[in-house]
Amino acid sequence: MAWPTDERWRMRHEVHYGDRPVRCFTERAPNLDVLLRRTVAAWPDNDALVDGDRRISYAALEDAVERIAGNLAGIGVGRGDRVAILLGNRPEFLYLNLACARLGAIAVPMNVRQRRPENEYALTHCGAVALVFEAGLAAELPPADGVPALRHRFAVGGAVPGAAAFETLTRPATAPAVDIAEDDVCTILYTSGTTGRPKGAMLTHFGQIQSLLHFEMGMKLRPGQERTILCVPGSHVTGLTAVLLAMVAVGGCTVLMPAFRADDFVVLAARERVTVSILVPAMYNLCLLQPRFGEFDLSAWRVGGFGGAPMPTATIAALAEELPNLQLMNAYGATEATSPATLMPLGLTAGREDSVGRVLPCADILVMDDDGREVAPGESGEIWIGGANVVPGYWNNDAANAAAFAGGYWKSGDIGSIDADGYVRVFDRKKDMINRAGFKVYSAEVENVLSHHPDIVEAAVVARPDPVLGEKVQAFVVGDGEARDPERLRAFCAERMSDYKVPEFIRYLDDGLPRNANGKILKPVLRDMVEADLGADTGAAE
C-alpha cells in the first residue's frame, strides 16, 4: 500500500459544504484553533518560530495569539469578518492567521509584491474590515475612500499616518469564546490573475485540517521533532499550509527567511538542523551550485518536498550524491486544493522522476477529456481534483464557481494522466501545450530534456505563433558553454526526443528566468518576449 492504513489514519465518508460527500480522516481537530491549543499543551517549550536571533516558543506563540485575538475582538472584529494581512515572512504573519482562526474571523493574506490597484481590488472584493501591513508598503495602499469597508489599519515596523501601531493589538487582552464550525471559511487566498481578476479561494478549517494530516502522514512528520525553513511567501498556500501550519500541527519549528537566497538557506539549514523542506526545484539546484555546499553539515535533512515544476533528474542525482540521507518527494496541488492532492510516497521517487506521486487518501483525481468523459489509464486529459481538501468555491464569484467546479471537483486546467499503478503525471497547463501542426508538445517534457544538458542552469519553453504550422517550440535558456551554441543544443535535444519537439527558436537570458514571489516561472512574461521578438523579426536564435 502507498499510504498507511492503521487506526491513526482511519477514514470515512462525510457530507460537507451542504451537499458534497467526501472521504476524510476521522481522528482530527475540529478547527485550527483547537489544533493550536493541543500543540501548545503538548510542547509549550518547543521552538515554534525562529526569526533571526529570536526564538519564539509555542507558549509565547499562544500568548501573542490570545492578545491579538482579544484586541481584534475589542474593536468589533468577529466571526466571518475579513482581516487582510499584508506582511512578509515575519512572526506577526502567523500570529494574525491564528488569531483570526481563534475568533472565527477570515484571514486574507496578501502578497507583499502587489501594487496599489491589486491591493485595492482584493481589499474591496473581500470587504476587509481590518488591515495589518508592513509600514514600508504604505504607499501601495488605497486611500480610505477607496475601501469604505476598511475601518481599521495597523502598521508593523514603523509609524504611518492614519494607521495605529501594531503594538496596540498586543496589549493584554482575552479572546472571547467562539463557536467555530468545521466548514467555516478560515482563509481567503487570491489566486493568480493571469486570465483576469484574481479569484479568492475560500479555504476552510475542515480543508486545512485534512491537508495538514496529509502532510503529517505523507511526509512521516514526527511530532515535536521537525524543523523547516519558510523561504516561499507565507501568503501563498505552500507557505501558509505546507510550511507554517504543517509545523504547528506537529509541534515543529519554522525558521523564517524574508526571501530565498541559496547561500543563506544552506547556512540556516545547517545551523538549525533542518529536517524537512518544501521548495521549488530551482531552489534545490541553486543550493547545489553554492561553492561551499559540501562544507555544511546537513545530515539532519531527511525529507525534501518539491512542487510547482518537475525536478530535473540531473538535480535528483546530484542531491542523492551530496545528501544520501535526503529523500525527495514530489507534490502536486493548488490553492483550490488547499495545497496537496498528490504526494510521492517516501522512498519511491527512483524510477518515477516524471511523476508527482499518488493521489492522497482524502483526495480524488479524475483525468477528463474535453467532453467531460474520463479517459483510460495512461491517456492524457484535464486533471480534475476532488475530495476533502478542495475548497467550496471562490468568494463572491458565482461565474468563476460555475466555470471552475463540477460536482465538487475543481477543474485544474492542467493536462496530465494516471497510469495503471496509480501514479499521476502532469504534462502542462492547457494553455501551455504547444500544438505544432496537430502534434502535441508538452513544454515540461522539452524543459526536462534541456535540463539534462550539463551547461544549462535552467530553461523554459513556450509556444511561438507560426502562420503555417500554428505554433513552434520556443526555448528560453540560462547557461554558458555549449548551451550558448543553438545548433549543438538542438542536436542534443534531437538525440533525446521527436524532431517536432526540438526547439526551433532559442533565446538566451543572462539574468535568469522571470519568476513570481513563489519561485514559479512567469510564462506570460516569456510569451510577451516572444511577441516582441516577432515584431522585431529577430530570427531563429539570439
| H/E run at residue 532 | helix 523-536
Which is higher by pLDDT, 262 or 311?
262
Lowest mean pLDDT among 5-9, 36-40, 219-223: 5-9
User: What mean pLDDT do residues 247-256 have?
Assistant: 98
CA distance 69 to 63: 10
| Range ranked top by mean pLDDT from 34-43, 106-115, 258-267 | 34-43
Residue range 321-346: mean pLDDT, rounded: 95
- The pLDDT tens digits of the residues spanning 88-108 come to 999 999 999 999 999 999 999
CB within 8 Å of 236: residues ≥ 6 apart: 111, 189, 335, 517, 518
Please give the helix or strand (H or E) that residue 451 lies within, else none.
helix 443-451
CB 201 within 8 A of CB 191: yes
Q: Please report the pLDDT score of residue 400 as a whole number.
A: 94
22 φ, ψ to 5°? Answer: -140, 150
Amino acid 429: pLDDT: 73
Topology, domain 433-536: GMP Synthetase; Chain A, domain 3 (3.30.300)
Phi first, then psi: what are they for 140, rounded to 5°?
Answer: -95, 10
| pLDDT, the chain, mean | 92
* In the predicted structure, residue 134 carries a pLDDT above the cut 70: yes
- Per the CB < 8 A criterion, the answer to whether 431 and 415 are in contact is no
The neighbouring-strand residues paired with 500 are none
- At residue 433, does pLDDT exceed 90? no
DSSP bridge pairs for 505: 474
Q: What is the mean pLDDT of residues 51-64?
A: 98
Q: What is the pLDDT of residue 308?
A: 66
Q: What is the pLDDT of residue 541?
A: 43
For residue 518, name the pLDDT band (cuts at 50, 70, 90): low
Beta bridge partners of 277: 304
Predicted confidence (pLDDT) at residue 112 exceeds the cutoff of 50: yes
The Cα 131–Cα 351 span in angstroms is 48
Instruction: Tally DSSP H helices, then E strands, for the chain.
Output: 14, 28
pLDDT score for 312: 74
- Which pLDDT tens digit goes with each residue over 297-320? 999 999 999 986 667 777 888 999
DSSP for 293-330?
GGGS--TT--EEEE-SSPPPHHHHHHHHHH-TTPEEEE
The SS3 assignment for 181 reads coil
